[in-house]
């Protein structure tokens, strides 16, 4: 199978871009998106560290022969190391205190994809015209939804919707990523994005753009534009994967 990739990241309505992403060119073995937090340059530093450390660790994986257990262990080790480095950086530099970042990833071993993350950035799959969110938000509102305390509609505008209980830069950030395993199929389309996308474009709009898209670069641009037009107040990052024969 062949992956075609499109990507775009913009500052949006912020002063600087704390989002970061990584595409394993030209091999397309893994794809990462991070959304930094912490104010000033701290969020930008945290997401940058994650995009430096995690790819370096992932490259040790045998992408042709690794078992599921080996793959998940390598991913978790990479994320744990990034989490430790981000926490340490915040301790030694007062300007970076409390910095953190979300992380979502798609890692490809032959035709199996390992999908997961920490925080509230997301990975979506469009298959046979149906959009599915593959990752779970580690936010207080999602926890309340899971507990039956809030509805999805109430969570969308809740005052705690952007409060995370897990992210890279806190103790819980290194406790494993529990990836989903997905068997890639021809004509699958994946969206890996920061919450700047979902803050301005709902699932119906994302599905519409992925269904109609024929070029991943143009689709990524269309998704970012839709989020902008929808009132997103954050940095906006979209990485789009098309699976071809």
| pLDDT tens-place string over residues 128-182 | 999 999 999 998 888 888 888 888 777 777 777 778 989 999 989 988 899 999 9
Q: Helices (DSSP H) in 117-202: which residue ranges?
A: 140-146, 152-156, 195-198
List the domains of the chain with CATH numbers. Answer: 2-244 (3.60.40.10)
* Mean pLDDT across 218-244: 97
In this prediction, residue 220 carries a pLDDT of 98
* Mean pLDDT across 209-222: 98
Residues in contact with 20: Cβ distance below 8 Å, sequence separation at least 6, in sequence order: 9, 33, 34, 36, 44, 47, 48, 50, 51, 101, 237
Distance, CA of 95 to CA of 176 (rounded, Å): 28
Q: What's the chain's average pLDDT?
A: 94
**pLDDT band at 94; cut points 50, 70, 90:** confident
In this prediction, residue 84 carries a pLDDT of 96
In this prediction, residue 183 carries a pLDDT of 97
Distance, CA of 166 to CA of 16 (rounded, Å): 23
Residue 50: is its pLDDT beyond 90?
yes
In this prediction, residue 40 carries a pLDDT of 61
Distance, CA of 203 to CA of 194 (rounded, Å): 14
In this prediction, residue 39 carries a pLDDT of 67
From 53-62, 158-167, 201-210, the region with the lowest mean pLDDT: 158-167
**pLDDT band at 198; cut points 50, 70, 90:** very high
In this prediction, residue 150 carries a pLDDT of 83
Distance, CA of 41 to CA of 14 (rounded, Å): 12
Residue 24: is its pLDDT beyond 80?
yes
């Amino acid at each position: 199978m062949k992956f075609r990739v499109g990507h775009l990241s913009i500052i949006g309505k912020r002063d600087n871009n704390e989002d970061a992403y990584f595409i394993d060119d030209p091999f397309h073995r893994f794809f990462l998106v991070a959304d930094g937090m912490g104010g000033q340059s701290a969020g930008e530093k945290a997401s940058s560290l994650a995009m430096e450390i995690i790819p370096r660790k992932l490259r040790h994986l045998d992408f042709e022969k690794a078992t599921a257990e080996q793959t998940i262990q390598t991913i978790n080790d990479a994320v744990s190391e990034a989490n430790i480095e981000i926490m340490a950086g915040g301790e030694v530099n007062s300007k970076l205190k409390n910095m953190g970042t979300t992380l979502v990833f798609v890692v490809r071993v032959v035709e199996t994809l390992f999908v997961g993350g920490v925080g509230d950035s997301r990975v979506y799959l469009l298959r046979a015209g149906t959009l599915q969110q593959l990752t779970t938000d580690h936010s207080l509102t999602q926890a309340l939804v899971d507990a039956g305390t809030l509805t999805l509609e109430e969570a969308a505008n809740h005052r705690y919707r952007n409060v995370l209980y897990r992210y890279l830069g806190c103790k819980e950030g290194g406790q494993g990523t529990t990836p989903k395993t997905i068997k890639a199929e021809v004509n699958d389309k994946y969206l890996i994005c920061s919450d700047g996308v979902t803050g301005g474009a709902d699932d119906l709009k994302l599905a519409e753009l992925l269904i109609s898209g024929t070029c991943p670069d143009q689709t990524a641009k269309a998704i970012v534009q839709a989020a902008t037009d929808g009132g997103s107040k954050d940095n906006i990052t979209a990485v789009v994967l098309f699976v071809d024969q």
